[in-house]
């Protein structure tokens, strides 16, 4: 025991050492407890690195499967070429040669009529009516093509009311145009309406045709419409002459 003054005692060296150990250990205990709490909290909020790695590896095959699924679906759709959303005129190069050559040759009666009347500088009613009659045959052909496309089993176009009923409309318009023999302008307008309506059916309302056929139909319809419009312009500005008058 040590005394500095009478009546005052100082604790022994062993007691001082124990007191110092207690005061130095207390922050250590607190720090360890805080570290333990923080480690438990961080482990609860964030998964361990191995778990996140396993989760990432487990999601990669699923994402790859989804990408392959969409990629394969897009390829199959492009191969079929009969999507509902639309088409491109570049698909015209994919047309079979018989369909392409026969389709382009079918424009000869349409284009030759206004060219002949332009050369003679006259409007020839017989030639114009022959053009309207040929247009009525083409419009009726488009309706029958849709009917025949929907009938076979397994066809993309089902033989329902939508497909079959709309296939009859072009034929009715063609018959109406043939009744306009005395007014060729009205007959030509009915043919133009029938061509546009059948094209609208095939491109939007009644999908199922391949992309090359849609592109071919668009080109043929545009050329046919312009030839009929040219005939109407010639009728307005040129004098009317019969074939007998021109030959004589």
The tens digit of pLDDT for each residue in 62-80 reads: 444 434 433 444 443 444 4
Cβ contact 217:202 at 8 Å: yes
Q: What is the pLDDT of residue 18?
A: 56
Q: What is the pLDDT of residue 248?
A: 79
Cβ contact 235:128 at 8 Å: yes
Rg of the chain in Å (alpha carbons): 43
The tens digit of pLDDT for each residue in 226-248 reads: 999 999 999 999 999 999 888 87
User: Which portions of the chain are predicted below pLDDT 50?
Assistant: 1-14, 16-17, 19-20, 23-24, 26-38, 41-84
Q: What is the pLDDT of residue 126?
A: 94
Q: What is the pLDDT of residue 125?
A: 95
Question: Does an H or E element contain 112, and which?
Answer: helix 108-120
The reported pTM is 0.66
Q: What is the pLDDT of residue 87?
A: 67
Reading the block at residue 10, the tokens are: 């100082």
Q: What is the pLDDT of residue 207?
A: 76
Three-state DSSP class for residue 3: strand
Torsion, Cα 134 139 140 142, to 10 degrees, reads 130
């Amino acid at each position: 025991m040590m005394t500095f003054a009478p009546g005052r005692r100082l604790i022994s060296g062993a007691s001082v050492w124990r007191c110092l150990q207690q005061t130095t250990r207390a922050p250590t205990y607190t720090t360890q407890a805080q570290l333990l709490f923080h480690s438990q909290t961080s482990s609860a909020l964030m998964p361990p690195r191995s778990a996140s790695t396993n989760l990432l590896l487990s999601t990669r095959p699923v994402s790859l499967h989804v990408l392959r699924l969409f990629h394969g679906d897009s390829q199959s759709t492009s191969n079929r070429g009969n999507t509902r959303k639309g088409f491109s005129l570049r698909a015209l190069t994919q047309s079979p040669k018989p369909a392409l050559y026969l389709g382009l040759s079918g424009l000869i009666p349409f284009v030759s009529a206004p060219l002949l009347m332009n050369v003679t500088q006259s409007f020839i009613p017989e030639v114009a009516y022959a053009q309207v009659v040929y247009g009525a045959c083409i419009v009726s052909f488009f309706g029958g093509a849709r009917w025949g496309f929907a009938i076979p089993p397994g066809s993309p176009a089902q033989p329902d009311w939508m497909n079959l009923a709309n296939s009859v409309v072009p034929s009715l318009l063609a018959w109406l145009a043939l009744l306009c023999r005395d007014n060729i302008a009205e007959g030509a307008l009915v043919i133009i309406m029938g061509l546009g309506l059948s094209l609208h059916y095939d491109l939007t309302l009644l999908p199922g045709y391949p992309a090359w056929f849609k592109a071919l139909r668009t080109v043929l319809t545009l050329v046919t419409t312009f030839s009929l419009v040219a005939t109407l312009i010639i009728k307005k500005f040129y004098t009317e002459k019969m074939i007998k008058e021109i030959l004589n």
